[in-house]
Amino acid sequence: MRGLYALFLGFLCLISCQDIPPVEKPGNFIDENTMESILYESVLISSARGYNVAQLKLLGIQPETYIYDKFDIDSLTYAQNLAYYTADVDLYKGINAKVLARVQAELKVNDSIETVQKKEQDSLRTLKAKEVKARFKQKDSTKFKEIPRRLVTDTFSRKMIQVKEDSSELD
């Protein structure tokens, strides 16, 4: 009986093997550089959609059709070309590596601009704080020499004493 099951399983394996035809080059072929740009834009649109959809609507950008309008293609052309490029794994990995490099380069530029802006804001805050301190010193410095700090307020200490007393009564 086990031999019959093994024979049946072997027969199923043989008939399930088939020759998968290669994906044909589409009629409206998109070259590799343009496909890279399309994938780069789709990454940007996808991340923008996840970040702030309201801002995209305010600017009048429709994420669903932005790629098609920008590159003057339709969804069928995009799907056929994407299927063609994904069939060749090595080529598709290369395109994705280029897209990733572009995204990382863009992030570096944006991060460096943001860092410069933060340094500028911090330096302006420091300058303003120095000006305020200088004006404070020029005014009546004897009047505001040192402000006493309150570590524990009276009401807080009273509440803590009451809590300790209440907990000791429960024991």
Each residue's pLDDT tens digit, 106-133: 888 877 777 777 777 777 677 777 777 7
Q: What is the pLDDT of residue 73?
A: 92
- Any residues with CB less than 8 A from the CB of 25 and at least 6 apart, and which? 84
Predicted confidence (pLDDT) at residue 96 exceeds the cutoff of 90: yes
Where are the chain's structural domains?
A: 25-135
Pick the residue with more confidence: 92 or 136? 92
Q: What is the pLDDT of residue 127?
A: 72
Tell if the pTM clears 0.75, that is, is over it: no
- Rounded to whole angstroms, the Cα distance separating 33 from 161 reads 75
